[in-house]
Amino acid sequence: MHYLLFYEAGDDYLTRRAQFRDAHLAHAGKACERGELILGGAYAKPADGAVLLFQGDAPDVAERFARADPYVMHQVIKRWYVREWTTVVGRDAAMPIRPAAAPSDS
């Protein structure tokens, strides 16, 4: 399954994240190496949060990541939550659904 981790930025996010960025990216890199974190990044215009895409058997893969993330631990992120995402289209869809066969014109 896929899970989306949503981050809502705290006050002074752009300034405060700088001192924890290397630790956050190292944390994310390890999750990528384990095959848990697929994609992640901050929103742009306005830069007021981020979304990270995880894969795993349960949402705890994303929840564990958030609880141990330096951004969360140092309150750079004021709120986070995880949503299960039922992916059905695309090469890496967790639950692919194919269209029904079109009726023939015979």
Banded pLDDT at 106 (limits 50, 70, 90): low
Which range, of 33-37, 57-61, 88-92, averages the lowest pLDDT? 88-92
Query: Which tokens sit at 47?
Result: 């830069």
CATH node for 2-85: 3.30.70.1060
Q: What is residue 101's predicted lDDT score, i.e. its pLDDT?
A: 74
Q: What is residue 19's predicted lDDT score, i.e. its pLDDT?
A: 95
Tell me the domain boundaries of the chain: 2-85
The 3-state secondary structure of 15-49 reads HHHHHHHHHHHHHHHHHHHCCCEEEEEECCCCCCE
Query: Do 69 and 75 form a contact (C-beta atoms < 8 A)?
Result: no
Banded pLDDT at 100 (limits 50, 70, 90): confident
Query: Do 73 and 17 form a contact (C-beta atoms < 8 A)?
Result: no
12-34 pLDDT, tens digit per residue, is: 999 999 999 999 999 999 999 99
**What residues are paired with 104 via a beta bridge?**
none
